Chains A and B, each alone.
Chain A
Amino acid sequence: MKRNTFLAGVAGLALAAGGAFAQVNEDAPQGGEMVVTYQDDVATLDPAIGYDWQNWSMIKSLFDGLMGYEPGTTTLRNELAASHEISDDGMVHTFVLKDGIKFHNGREIIAEDVKYSLERVTDPKTRSPGAGFFGMIDGFDTWNAGEGDGLSGVEVIDDKTVQITLSRPDATFTHVMALNFASIVPREAVEASGEDFGREPVGSGAFRLAEWTPGQQVVFERFEDYHRAGVPKLDKVTFDIGLDPTVALLRLQNGDADVPGDGIPPAQFLQVMNNPEQADNVVEGGQLHTGYITLNTQMAPFDNVNVRKAMNMAINKDRIVQMINGRAVPANQPLPPSMPGYADDYEGYPFDPEAARAMLAEAGFPDGFTTELFVMNVDPNPRIAQAIQQDLSEIGVKVEIRSLAQSNVIAAGGEADQAPMIWSGGMAWIADFPDPSNFYGPILGCAGAVSGGWNWSWYCNKELDARAAEADAMADPALADEREEAWRSIYVDIMDDAPWVPVFNEQRFTLVSDRMAGDDSLFVDPVHIPVNYDYIYSVEAE
């Protein structure tokens, strides 16, 4: 399944530049603490429900699943699993649990907990936004429809062993088992808390929840029985809640905070970067993010492929990147550069207003046309929309900007005949896991081109859908390169139909105080936003 996060637009699953193996110092000293600031209160810490950029990495530190990632990288590793075997046909995955692993309540984790956790997240009563990720597990369809008495594909062999049978081979399954939604939770704690489990989380992660004062503070403390020796590094992580990003920056400059969780506010970005002392404390990394303009392929005149190509040639992406102070790199295809499957040698459509005008004339619009561009009403998106408006007026296309609240733009995109063009900023696609399939299904595939879907171009190419399914069926790790190549060609072929104008890939900038140390990759960790809480250490502990 190719499903994606509904991250509220700041930062999602990002990828360290180059995606190489990081040199994480596993022997760093333990001790010390860190203060992270946030504006919004934490919505929930229930791993089956939490699905925003803020609680995503908090949950990662409170909970573990069978699979995880090497810190600072996108390389999968066993987490609670001691071993993981795949049958030859790719249909049966057998996991054996590590010995002596415990929940925060002290109870040992057994195979039955795995079954319970996967059934809980896929149970329709849980209303988990991540249920759909597990669609490849045998028995999902009936269980998720509210029938039967469990997920038949998940079988407990003994206390340590669990066997998961799929209904189709799926190369993304191991990534799915590393998602927060696949975290292992203790049944007794979930049942005791009921709907309040998100306020009283009990997991097996490196930290446990010590304190939660709504609107003020969330405090994590070290879990002494964590299954990895020497982890976490810090004794305590305090999240100060309710601070406007501008105020958070003042706190950091005053030495009262270590990481502004909401990032550097756009208005202060240049000020920070121009101050050598502060610029030194900024770590830059790539992100699995693409910002794009959707062209509704079912609405005139964007049902004409030449009109869509002309749009692609008319937008000055460099200028837009400049407008946001260089916090991104121009894009020419749906995948971001740090995603496997990115086509390095693909040149994309050139910026050429002359050729764009000629192509429009050829398509039957020598005098251009009038259309609408939907955009989320939070800076810098309306400004970017104005730049697009100006670029398009150069080729005779008159654009009216509809600047609306996020939910209204999403609602318009989900209807076939509402939004001719949408600038994705603030709602753009950010991958849940580092796999090329993650950018296809809901946003470019036929499955997403339905009412309420996220394929706002309403682009549906049956041939590409078939090739995508074929690529995802290559579950054998030996076929990884072939699979990546298959995905690469799919995305290049999509650009021939030009349902999007890919505009830029956002970069990530993390500001950190002098008190914190660790490999740079931990501060732009692809999986942990804003930073990897488990492995960062304090210089005061040395």
Chain B
Amino acid sequence: MSGYLVRRLIESALILLGITFVTFVLLYMVPADPARQIAGRSATAETVANIRDQLGLNDPLFVQYFRYLGNLLQGDMGRSYLQRAEVADLIAARLPASLLLMVSAIVTELILGLTIGVVAALRRNRPADHTLMIFSFVSISAPQFVIGILLLYVFAVQFGWLPIGGYGTFAHLILPSITLGFLGAGWYSRMMRSSMIDVLEQDFVRTARAKGLSRLHIITRHVMPNAILPVIAMIGIDIGLFMSGIVVVESVFGWPGIGQLAWQAIQRVDIPVIMGVTMVSATAIVLGNLIADLVAPLIDPRIKTK
């Protein structure tokens, strides 16, 4: 187990290293010149040259990359070109909000998705099943931006039950979590449904029924624990999905997370911030996958860690 863990950690570190390189090269190749972006349209050629020089943008790609990497390894993510603040501070100020949103979205999607999946499986091919599956289709296909605005309009403006965007209280958290969890709820309900159906047809379920166990007992004790395993393993992988989702959801609800930060940085070619946010999200995704792989054998002994 520990050998496996070490191997996976090394792999993860290599993946992250690869991501720094690819992102850095991509940003380097973008035709927009950050120095020009900082200098604004009033700048003379000398001013732009001076800024390029100060930021070290005249150095060859590899010199720039290794300098960045060296600083990164020492925990220095640099300063934002635009805000001039430490990138680490900018991200640290926003990370808790994003994590909170992500955790509550995971809870939302599991509650919604698993419930729908179980009900649909038990009512298989009946009207309830069809209705729920249509719902899950809609939730997978509807753009998060539209869902967010719609929820805001109905629950915050028309009914006035919840605040119109913002951050701070539990009430602020509800609509963004639902919006972000909606997509996943669709996936999970479909996954849970088919997983349940698979298990329901297994021999041991028939045996349990033959033993005369109650239907409720069979479902809660024998079917659900087995059906839920493949679904749980997905959560870690989900984090990548959330990372793209928060960019949209945070901007609709004015949620002060890293998605918002990333969006603004991209608009303004603020390379240190783009790099920083990319690294943080990549780390989260890599960790999510790692944890998913490590947890899977614990909840399902049939999976071996080799």
Write the residues of chain A forming the contact surface with B, with a CB cutoff of 8 angstroms. Answer: 3-6, 39-41, 43-44, 46, 49, 51, 124-125, 127, 129-133, 144-146, 195-196, 198-199, 213-216, 240-244, 246-247, 250-251, 253-254, 256, 405-408, 410-412, 414, 432, 442, 447, 450-454
Contacts and interface: CB of A to CB of B under 8 A. Distances in A.
Contact of A6 (B40, B50, B269): B40
Chain A interface helix/strand/loop/mixed: loop
A442 B254 contact: no
Measured as residues with beta carbon below 8 angstroms from the partner, the interface class of chain B is: 35 or more
A256 B54 contact: no
Contacts of A3: 41-42
Given A410-B32, A452-B33, 12 more contacts: A5-B42, A40-B267, A44-B84, A51-B40, A127-B50, A129-B43, A244-B165, A244-B254, A247-B152, A253-B157, A405-B32, A414-B36
A256 B46 contact: no
Contacts of A4: 41-42
Contacts of A127: 38-39, 50-51, 54
Interface in B82-107: 82-85, 90, 93-94, 97
A132 B43 contact: yes
B50 to A, nearest CB: 5
B31 interface: yes
Nearest to A214: B93
Contact of B79 (A5, A51, A195, A213): A195
A251 B36 contact: no
Contact of B45 (A124, A133, A244, A451): A451
A129 B252 contact: no
Contacts of A250: 152-153, 156-157, 164
B157 A452 contact: no
Interface string B220-246: 000000000000000000000000000
A408 to B, nearest CB: 5
Nearest to A246: B149
> Chain A CB within 10 Å — which of B40, B79, B267, B269 has the most?
B40
B48 interface: yes
A319 B36 CA distance: 34
A215 B89 CA distance: 13
A407 B32 contact: yes
B260 interface: yes
Nearest to A181: B42
A9 to B, nearest CB: 11
Contacts of A144: 46-47
Given A214-B94, A215-B260, A242 B251 contact: yes
A413 B85 CA distance: 30
B167 interface: yes
A443 to B, nearest CB: 8
A241 B164 contact: no
B48 A247 contact: no
B262 to A, nearest CB: 12
A242 B82 contact: no
Contacts of B97: 215
B254 A247 contact: yes
Contacts of B46: 144-145
Contacts of A244: 165, 251-252, 254
Contacts of A242: 165-167, 250-251, 253-256, 260
